[in-house]
Structures are given as C-alpha cells and as structure tokens.
Structure 1
Amino acid sequence: MRFQGTESYVATDDLTIAVNAAVTLERPLLVKGEPGTGKTELARQVASSLGLRMIEWNIKSTTRAQQGLYEYDAVSRLRDSQLGDARVNDVANYIRKGKLWQAFEAEERVVLLIDEIDKADIEFPNDLLQELDRMEFHVYETGETIRARQRPIVIITSNNEKELPDAFLRRCFFHYIRFPDMETLRRIVEVHHPGIKDALLTTALTQFYELREQPGLKKRPSTSEVLDWLKLLLAEDLSAEDLRRDGGDALPRLHGALLKNEQDVHLFERLAFMARRAR
C-alpha cells in the first residue's frame, strides 16, 4: 500500500515519501503550506490512489475535540422522558457518533482527514492526543471503549494560523508543501488544462511568478488561483500576445482571479503610475 500520486494530482517526490513514511510509522501526517497548495486535495487523492474510503472532518473556530468523538444529546433525552418515550431507557439512542468514531468502527481501513486544525482553539490538538495515539476512547455515558478496528490513515492539514503544541507535533510526521517551481506548476497545469499552448502558458506563468514575488504583496496568489486565472484566459481565447503588457501597465489581464484584496491591487496601480512617470 504505497502512494505514488494520481493522474489528477501531481505529487512531488518529497510529498510521496512523506505520505508513505506516515503510513509506515502509523503516525498522523501533518501537512502545512500556503492556502491553495493542495493540502486538502492530497487526502482525497491518497484515498483514491489506495482505494480507501475517506472520512472528512472540517474544523471551524467553534469546533471542539469532543465533537470528533461523540456528542450526548441530553436535551432530547429529557424531552423524550417527559413525553414517555421508551427510547429513554437506552442512553445509546442519544449518542451522536463523531468522525473519529466513524473511522474507528469502520470494518475496512479508511483515510481520516482533519482539515485546517489551526482554525480551532489552541487546546484542540492537545485534547486529541491520546485518542490519535492509542486509537481508542471511552464513552462515559455507556461505559464502553471504542477501539479502532483498522488503524486509519490520518491526514491533518494546517494553514499555519496558529502554532501547534509540541506534544501534538511529536506524534505526527510533518511535511510542508512548498510552492511549486515553474516546471512542477507546468505539470499541474497540464493535468487541469491539457493541451494549453506553450507560448500562452510560458507568458502567463512568467507574469504570475513576477506578480507573486512582488515585494509588499499582502496575499500571494496560490496554485488554485493561477489555475482559475488560466481557465479565464482560455475561456476568453487570449493569446500570449494579448497578455504582453507595455511598461506602464503593471497589472495582468483578469487580475481579479489572482489579487484578492484592494491593498495588493493598489500596490500594482502605484507601480504602474510610477512606471508611467519615469518614461
């Protein structure tokens, strides 16, 4: 059971090594990187490549670790007891299984994605230490212990919005997805936009990297954004010549797909203004 990438996902050598190392060590794979570099998609492609079902737990700022295990609906039980419902005699009727429980009780091995763990409270990762390490947890309301039948492949993503606790990091295999170089990005584009003309792609990617490396940029455009931009260029049937700018125009065509805040747009407008004054 080894991950080698898929036809629809270009995985670099260091990324495939990280995935397979985490599987071999039976450790969660913690994947960091800029938003839009394919961290979430990696879990889906690992599941697809290995022929496994994926269970996805999307973390929000209000998410609690307990929700990943189970939740006890005491309010519903109280209401049913007032109505004389016979279901109240079995507390299990009021236990809602979380994503970890679903992964643990699966008959087959699954891929468990814990997506954007850094969105939650700082204590969230610590609250899952024992469960992810021992692959079991206790249900106090019923007195049972839930153990993983098949140890899931756990992939955890983070956008680095918060530092994660050392104790949690120690239990993970870590990989940082670097932004792809020109050649790797060409391969990624070919997967999503096969047959794109080389002249158009070269000009577009040259402008994209120039824009991305501009000092003072608040949010650098990501892989997903350059793919959206290229999709628009193809839809508008623009050529490499159409993309070429004169010295006074610092913004690329259809730049709204790349620049996502007014500060960055104003930065390039100022650069264009200064270039015009210098001529």
Structure 2
Amino acid sequence: MVKDADVRFTGTKDYVASDDLAMAVNAAITLERPLLVKGEPGTGKTELARQVAAALDMTIIEWNVKSTTRAQQGLYEYDAVSRLRDSQLGDNRVGDVAAYIRRGKLWEAFTAPERTVLLIDEIDKADIEFPNDLLQELDRMEFHVYETGETIRAVNRPVVIITSNNEKELPDAFLRRCFFHYIRFPEIDTLKAIVDVHYPGIKDRLLTTALTQFYEVRETPGLKKKPSTSEVLDWLKLLLAEDLDAEDLRRNGTAALPKLHGALLKNEQDVALFERLAFMARGRS
C-alpha cells in the first residue's frame, strides 16, 4: 500500500502540470480531502485525474455525472422491480437480497483491493442537492446498505478528484470539505510545453505564429466562447496535416477568419464577430 508521504504528483510525460496544480493535488492527498478542480472546458480537468492515477500507479474509477444522475447511484441501486418479478416467477434467487443490489462507483472505490483514484466528473451537471447528498459518504468514507444491513467502509481511502465547469454554484457545506484549485488558461510558454508533448518537433516559426494568432482570437472582445487548450491542439493537428507553414497563417487586416477556423470557433455568433471585424477593417483600408 502506498503511504501518503510517498505520494507526490509532479505531472507525467503526457501531462504538463503547473507547480500550483501539482501542489493542489498533493495537498488534497495529504489532507485526505476531495480535490475540486474548476476551469474552462477543455483545460484538462478530466485528464488530470487520469494522469494522477497513471503517475501514482493507481486504478482510476470514473463516475461521469449527468443531469439525471442521483447521488444514490454512486453508492448502490436496489432493483426492487426485478426482485418482484422473480418472486412472481418463483425464482430461488429472490431470497438473496444482495443479488438485486447494483454497486455504484463509490462502492467500487471503497472496496477496491488497492488504493484508487475516484473521478467524479462534471458534478455541476447534476441537481443542486447532489453534492450535499454525498457529504457524509465522502467525509466518513463509509455508507449503509439498508436492504442488507451492511456498512461499506473504505478499505483504502481513494484519492477523490471532482471536476466542475462552473455551470452552477456548489453548496458551501460541500465546498468546505474540498481542497479547491482553478486551472487557469496557460501562458504561452506553458502552452508550448503542452504542444511539445503532443507534437514534438513542430517547427518553431509555425508554432509561434499559430499560438500568437490563437491568443489574439482568445482575447478578441465580445467572443462568446474562447477556444480552449484541447481546441488549439486540434487546430495544430490540422495545420500539420495540411502541411501549412508560418507564412500560410499570416493574415492581412482584411482577412475574415483564421485558417481552418472551425477547430477554434464553435458557434455562429463568434464567426459572425470575426466577419464584422474584417468588414470594418476593409472599410478603413
């Protein structure tokens, strides 16, 4: 079993973690509290949990939250309908209540033979009561199964990482029990390091020109959705596939949109914004 003192996350060869992010992961592990990670969509929140698991040689258990997800599903679900049907059919299994219990992701993490990373992904998608309904279970690392009378306790306390896209506010009582970190959008040097992980050997002039243009797009006033890290990586992949160079990317003042802009701009309002800016630039020229 890995001791907390031996557990240190510094990033991986596939994931560039800032010093602040690595510190947040290690602090949450030391405090034995869930790490709540917020940030723009596409900044690597979900991937962080996977890379923490890889770096610490732990299995990852992923619970992907949806708008219809209930907290109880993370513990277990009792299939009373199937048991009733089986009783009507005379099935011998009906006397074994445990046969109708479906284990949830917390149950899996609590009873895993080795310590795991438990990812609760996009918790803000669920109902506002969802986080509060998990307070006691995440605090005590145990829960009661009423149908069988047993208590499920964590054999090895999992490393819990919770992500949020900030779609709704989370309850104060829940926030108090978490260590919080906001993943800020990376500066250009960090972004270059991230790109180098995915596309080693990319020509420096192409990368500099592309990232300069990318940040100009992100900083355009009135943009509805700023392109993210994952989107710039997609864009660079297309540029490389089309064998474009730095000169191909250069725009004059009247160019409407960046080349292959569909990888960066994801709604018609933002496309229209750049078209208006180009129209105004043509009017001034």
Asked if these proteins are the same fold (TM beyond 0.5), I'd say yes
Match of 1:257 in 2: 263
Among candidates 4, 12, 16, match of residue 6 of structure 1:
12
Among candidates 68, 90, 93, match of residue 84 of structure 1:
90
Aligned mates of 2:56, 2:109 — CA distance in 1 = 16
Tell me which stretches of 4 or more aligned residues in structure 1 moved more than 3 Å: none
Read off the aligned partner of 1:70 and give its amino acid letter: Y
| Cα-to-partner distance string for 1:66-104 (whole Å, 9 max, x where unaligned) | 000000000000111011000000100000000000000
> Are 1:138 and 2:144 matched, yes or no?
yes
Match of 1:177 in 2: 183
Match of 1:155 in 2: 161
Unaligned runs of 5+ in 1: none
Match of 1:56 in 2: 62
Among candidates 190, 198, 214, match of residue 208 of structure 1:
214
Structure 1 residue 107: Cα displacement: 1.2
Among candidates 84, 91, 114, match of residue 108 of structure 1:
114
Read off the aligned partner of 1:199 and give its amino acid letter: R
Match of 1:95 in 2: 101
Structure 1 residue 133: Cα displacement: 0.3
Aligned residues: 279
Read off the aligned partner of 1:258 and give its amino acid letter: L
Aligned mates of 2:223, 2:201 — CA distance in 1 = 32
Match of 2:47 in 1: 41
Structure 1 residue 247: Cα displacement: 1.0
Question: Tell me, what secondary structure is at the counterpart of 1:61?
Answer: coil
Match of 1:233 in 2: 239
Read off the aligned partner of 1:215 and give its amino acid letter: P
Aligned mates of 1:4, 1:175 — CA distance in 2 = 15
Q: Percent identity?
A: 84
Read off the aligned partner of 1:137 and give its amino acid letter: F
Q: State the Cα RMSD in Å.
A: 0.4
Read off the aligned partner of 2:46 and give its amino acid letter: T
Structure 1 residue 250: Cα displacement: 3.8
Question: Tell me, what secondary structure is at the counterpart of 1:51?
Answer: coil
Aligned mates of 1:175, 1:139 — CA distance in 2 = 33
Unaligned runs of 5+ in 2: 1-6
Match of 1:278 in 2: 284
Match of 1:168 in 2: 174
Question: Tell me, what secondary structure is at the counterpart of 1:142?
Answer: coil
Read off the aligned partner of 2:202 and give its amino acid letter: I
Match of 2:254 in 1: 248
> Are 1:71 and 2:77 matched, yes or no?
yes
Normalising by structure 2, what TM-score?
0.98
Normalising by structure 1, what TM-score?
1.00
Question: Tell me, what secondary structure is at the counterpart of 2:114?
Answer: coil
| Cα-to-partner distance string for 1:88-126 (whole Å, 9 max, x where unaligned) | 001000000000000001111000000000000000000
Question: Tell me, what secondary structure is at the counterpart of 2:144?
Answer: strand
Aligned mates of 1:251, 1:197 — CA distance in 2 = 23
Question: Tell me, what secondary structure is at the counterpart of 1:102?
Answer: helix
Among candidates 254, 265, 272, match of residue 266 of structure 1:
272
> Are 1:30 and 2:30 matched, yes or no?
no
